[in-house]
Amino acid sequence: MIYLLRHGQTDYNRDGRMQGQTDSQLTSLGMAQVEAMAQVLHDEIDDLSGWRILASPLRRTRQSAAIVGRALGLPVAIDPALIEVGCGAWENRMYADLRAEHPQAFAGREWVFASPDGERFEDVDARVRPWLAALPPEGERKVIAVSHGIAGVLMRGAYLGLSREATMAQDTPQDAIFRLTGGAVDRLACAPVAA
């Protein structure tokens, strides 16, 4: 079983700034969102023996994983395969400015891959598919993965065998956990957190 979490809200999310692989930090709302996710995991997992927490190397996911790790009493290991899509020169830019400059790119769901020097769908897919394939067999998986919006979408799409279009149509919540098991993906809602 895999529990897949996106990091909580960051200062970049709050301000409308593109993150990509830039380091950003959790806001107080983001920390509360992750605490709510940790509570769901605490309630979901009866026996924590053998469970691992793996996190992207970026600060926002390390912070999120540390909150979950403290709540569950589990250590955190860093896994570069869980890193977010790199957005090249568009990183650190305001979304509103990018939309105004590149309206065609933002007309569809794949704007995140439109930066001239950023990563493409295929680059992220080439990270997450081998990561999934290298995990223990389905019945032996005990992984809590703390990743990102786009990396998480591609991971769920790969797990379900979705088309590219269906993969990119998925949502990227910061207040829910996805449980990947038995060839299905279930969304576990967290208690609402006030902004």
**Which has the closest alpha carbon to 177: 156, 159, 158?**
156
Q: How many CB atoms lie within 10 A of CB 167?
A: 20
Question: How many Å separate Cα 21 from the centre of its chain?
Answer: 12
Catalytic, out of 35, 84, 119, 148: 84
Q: Do the Cβ atoms of 84 and 155 come closer than 8 Å?
A: no
Among positive and negative, which fits the CA dihedral 137, 61, 18, 123? negative
**Tally of CA atoms within 13 A in the half-sphere of 111 that contains its CB:** 17
Whether 7 sits among the annotated catalytic residues: the reply is yes
Whether 110 sits among the annotated catalytic residues: the reply is no
- E strand or H helix that includes residue 189: strand 184-189
- DSSP symbol at 81: G
- Which residues does the annotation mark as catalytic? 7, 84
